[in-house]
Amino acid sequence: MNTFKKALLVFLIIIVVLGSVLSLSTVEFRKDLGATVTGLLLAFITVTVLMERALDVFLTTWRAERSEEMDEQLTALNQQAAKQDEEHPEQLLKLENLRKEKRQYRAKTRIIAMWSSLCIGIILSGLAGLRTLEHLVTQQSLAQLEDMQLFIFKAFDIFLTGGLIAGGSDGIHKVMEMLRQFFETGTQRLKYSKK
């Protein structure tokens, strides 16, 4: 186990022990949780679609030109390799190197996109007040939290929401689908139990 995993495990154990030993206040979920979750997820889909489109525009203007150049070079090298009767190792090496460069370029673009969306998500959550957990619990139970507890709750809410937004609209859509199936299954169980 590497150092990071060990440190994370120790940190989580400390949190569990502190949470068990200290008599901290707990939060109470809202009564209309289903409607609240659905509304929040729809709002997040809207926000993430807008953010994804904006990031796509920025990344395309910044990174697409080099990507298109590499595509053209790959096409030309592939055509040259197909036309040649004899094997030319230097052509094949050029082709393989360009393919590797293209993969690395795409990977870097994905990393830039993910970090950018995470930063935007955290900014939206932290500064614009777009939060998830805060809307799922009652305001009375939040008011009863100790100052440090409330700070940790809000900080975690900001990071959680930022990560949710960074995950994109497809991830949120999957969460909505999972919740829909869960509620439908629960409704069907209730119907069958009443018969």
For the chain, domain boundaries:
30-194
3 state DSSP class of 137: strand
195 residues of the chain, pLDDT tens digit each: 689 888 989 988 988 888 877 777 788 888 888 888 888 888 888 888 888 888 888 888 888 888 888 888 888 877 777 666 556 667 777 878 888 988 898 889 889 988 998 899 899 999 988 888 898 999 898 888 888 889 999 999 999 988 888 887 676 767 767 777 776 776 676 666 665
End-to-end CA, the chain: 53
Task: Give the separation between CA 28 and CA 30, rounded to whole angstroms.
Answer: 7
* Contact (CB, 8 A) for 30 and 138: yes
Model pTM score:
0.66
